[in-house]
Amino acid sequence: MSLPSKSAYLNLLSSLARKSSSRIVLLVLDGVGGLAKDGKTELEAARTPNLDSLACGASCGLSVPVLPGITPGSGPAHLALFGYDPLVFEISRGALEVYGVGKTLSDQQIGARGNFCKIDGDGVVRDRRAGRLRTEENARLCAHLNERIGEVDGVGVEFVPGKEHRFVLILTGKGLSSKLFDTDPHEEMKHYAECTASDPEGEMTARVVNSLMETVLDVLTGEKEATGIILRGFSGRPEIPTLGDLYHLRPAVIATYPMYKGIANIVGMDIIGCESTWGSQVTALEELFGRYDFFYIHYKLTDMAGEDGDFEKKVGFIEEADGAVDRILELKPDVFVVTGDHSTPASMKKHSWHPNPFMIKSIGARIDSADRFTEGECARGCLGVFEAKYGMGLMLAHAGKLDKFGA
């Protein structure tokens, strides 16, 4: 696949990339960056002996997910970590979820990310997550909807369960368009939004979605927790070059949530199955370490605690993640990177624009004065503040996977 002409840096990386036996481990602590409470951020308040020891022998800095002041979604934030310019390569959250649950999209399909939620008789969203619905209940509801609905206005409808309250919607039919606005109001105590088209070609699909929303409300009448759905991130089939094609890597992902498996799947990573615990993720890395040369490990719980506004719980999850870092180091990866995809301060209960702490450990790392893995210490590091899309170049360079540029 030819790259967009605006992707000059990615084109350069790809032209310099070469195969080598070195191995890279990228650990992403989702939403790890925070803001101070009583003078300390969540990272500063946490006891993290392994991460701090790592920082003392690493190069540290701060990475900006997109551009200064821009708050990223998880999709563009992760694309940047893998070296793609998120302003050039756009993948909707819906496509990420679709591929994350093991589905794909054809030319006659669009996908969307959905939540089961609690909607009252006036159409007001009372709880966007239906009390963080149990995954088993999610599966029951998806099966119920598939049995009762099947199609709307001649368009095929499929609900695919995810984790907790999350599901994927796949629509199949001719003339469908993903140029739609969300039905998710993104806040509670607001009426769910009417689906409208962002382009005239999406008007037919918007009518189908609105009919579906009403049908689901009817079918879920009488349910206690989930009485409706909200949808966001409508997407068609994504077109993007893979990490194997770009960098000659054999990449794999170890993640527990579909969205992150989805983006990894789209960029050509093998999905490694494991149980939904941090210890199981690290065990999977240990068992398959010799099979791949690039591992992306995603730790979700820090972000969840931040979105819940629970500072202490986020501190605890940071400490949990730290507890297994020594096991990763025992594998002796040639390059070990720890960072976040974005910040999720507990005080904000949502993603923010703040730069992420970033550290890279390798035999070629220039040791700087940072002595902890925190926002403040990484700000003192030798890497400075850089756009996250340049992080992949640093990983490849430290791993000896880039040739020299020029004579």
Q: Is 362 helix (H, G, I), strand (E, B) or coil?
A: strand
In a domain, 130, yes or no: yes
Final residue in a domain of this structure, among 206, 235, 264:
235
- Gap between the Cα atoms of 194 and 212, Å rounded: 11
Quick one: 62 and 79 in the same domain?
yes
Quick one: 219 and 252 in the same domain?
no
Quick one: 328 and 194 in the same domain?
no
In a domain, 406, yes or no: no
Number of domains in the chain: 2
- Gap between the Cα atoms of 299 and 278, Å rounded: 7
User: What's the rounded mean pLDDT across residues 200-227?
Assistant: 95
Specify the amino acid at residue 368: D
Are 380 and 104 in contact by the 8 Å Cβ rule? The answer is no
In a domain, 394, yes or no: yes
- Gap between the Cα atoms of 370 and 56, Å rounded: 6
Quick one: 289 and 358 in the same domain?
yes
List, for residues 396-406, the tens digit of each pLDDT value: 999 999 999 99
Quick one: 254 and 389 in the same domain?
yes
Residue 262 lies in domain: 10-91+241-398
Final residue in a domain of this structure, among 214, 235, 256:
235
In a domain, 293, yes or no: yes
List, for residues 314-348, the tens digit of each pLDDT value: 999 999 999 999 999 999 999 999 999 999 999 99
Least confidently predicted of 18-22, 110-114, 256-260: 256-260
Amino acid 163: pLDDT: 86
Tokens 């498996």 belong to residue: 261
Given a cut of 70, is residue 127 above it in pLDDT? yes
Q: Is 398 helix (H, G, I), strand (E, B) or coil?
A: helix
In a domain, 404, yes or no: no
Quick one: 183 and 279 in the same domain?
no
Quick one: 201 and 296 in the same domain?
no
Contacts of 218 (CB under 8 A, 6+ apart): none
Amino acid 94: pLDDT: 82
Start-to-end CA distance of the chain, whole Å, equals 27
Quick one: 160 and 278 in the same domain?
no
List, for residues 232-246, the tens digit of each pLDDT value: 999 998 889 999 999
pTM score, whole prediction: 0.81
List, for residues 5-35, the tens digit of each pLDDT value: 568 899 999 999 999 999 999 999 999 999 9
- Gap between the Cα atoms of 149 and 159, Å rounded: 10
Phi-psi region of 11 (alpha: psi -120 to 50; beta: other; left: phi over 0): alpha
Quick one: 113 and 85 in the same domain?
no
Find the CATH number of the domain harbouring 296: 3.40.720.10
In a domain, 271, yes or no: yes
Tokens 């940072």 belong to residue: 370
Are 208 and 93 in contact by the 8 Å Cβ rule? The answer is no
In a domain, 405, yes or no: no
Q: Name the DSSP class of 355.
A: P
In a domain, 1, yes or no: no
Quick one: 107 and 121 in the same domain?
yes
Quick one: 103 and 86 in the same domain?
no
Final residue in a domain of this structure, among 201, 235, 269:
235
Quick one: 200 and 249 in the same domain?
no
Amino acid 2: pLDDT: 53
